[in-house]
Amino acid sequence: MQSQLKKFATEIRIAQMEEFKARGFGHIGGALSITDCLAALYGEIMKYDPKNPQWEDRDRLVMSKGHAGPALYATLALKGYFPMEMLKTLNQNGTHLPSHCDKNLTPGIDMTTGSLGQGASTAAGLALGLKAQKKDARVYLILGDGESQEGQVWEMALFAPQHKLNNFIAFLDNNKRQLDGYTADICNIEPIDEKFKAFGWYTLRIDGNDPDKIVEAVNDAKANQGDKPAMIILDTVKGAGVKAVEETKLNHHLNVTAEDADAYIAALKAELE
């Protein structure tokens, strides 16, 4: 039997497939791989209020890998930030759900992202600002593994410990594939956990497709990070939760027929029964 958080993750995946079905294509692999992290964040970890998206004391999430926006949109819709029907407008003309996250268009988006690496800096800036204001709120950041090849990420990795940003927890979606191949072949980032540890972060490495383990890791970080920022390496599967997508080698961006989407949705719904 699935836990409540795993059920929520499955519901997020179903909602994503409705988005991709309506659009016919999208960044499916990397959206699916961080779905379990979103289920943990919005299912148990974060403080937020869908009726007041700009609540000053809310926790913030920065989806630095902004092309995974559809996963975040599905999560926000399920939590009541906007009607579920809006998901079918993904990346259409006049939409409030662009292919990459935009805080000026979508209720619940805390930072506009898409230029890879920049979300890392803005998240650290948010954490620094909240700390200066003595706000009891945290900033959560989701980075891609290919994205972590960007130099700007490593500038942030130096900045955050320097400023003792212990209100800052980052996740690195280590699905081991990027746009044009495997990260190990293009610009190997391993051992990524040891690198962040050497930069002064409290670092954990876990199964990133288990939302219950993600909650445990966040609780561990909160209890033990001291005056350090925390980095949680999520070892994930690109396309996690939809077998046909997992088994597609180049699954960063895929076309999806209505028939494909319906088959994926039927299989996911069966997991909820």
Report the distance separating Cα 49 and Cα 36, nearest Å. Answer: 20
Q: Is 114's pLDDT higher than 70?
A: yes
Average pLDDT over residues 132-154: 97
pLDDT for the residue numbered 229: 98
DSSP three-state, residue 184? helix
Helices H, strands E: what count in the chain?
11, 9
Model pLDDT, residue 41: 98
Percent of the chain at pLDDT > 90 equals 98
Per-residue pLDDT for 1 more than 70?
Answer: no
What span, in angstroms and rounded, lies between the C-alpha atoms of 86 and 70? 12
Question: What digits encode the pLDDT tens for the residues 162-193?
Answer: 999 999 999 999 999 999 999 999 999 999 99
Q: Is the dihedral of CA 223, 227, 229, 233 positive or negative?
A: negative
Q: What is the pLDDT of residues 75-112, one digit of tens each?
A: 999 999 999 999 999 999 999 999 999 999 999 999 99
Query: Residue 216: what pLDDT?
Result: 98
Please tell me the distance from the alpha carbon of residue 86 to that of residue 135, in angstroms, as a whole number.
33
Domain CATH for 120: 3.40.50.970
On the question of pLDDT at 44 being above 80, the answer is: yes
Can you give the residue range of the structural domain that contains 84?
A: 4-272
Q: Is the pLDDT confidence value at 200 over 90?
A: yes
pLDDT tens digit sequence for 255-269: 999 999 999 999 999
**pLDDT band per the 50, 70, 90 thresholds, residue 117:** very high
Please check whether residue 192 is in contact with residue 145, taking contact to mean a CB–CB distance below 8 angstroms: yes
**Which pLDDT does position 2 carry in this prediction?**
82
What confidence score (pLDDT) does residue 273 get?
A: 86
| Cβ count within 10 A of residue 142 | 26
Total tally of structural domains belonging to the chain: 1
**CB distance 165 to 127 below 8 Å:** yes
**Looking at the predicted structure, is the pLDDT value of residue 214 above 80?**
yes
Mean residue pLDDT across the chain: 97
Mean pLDDT in residue range 10-35: 97
Report d(CA 106, CA 81) in Å as an integer. Answer: 9
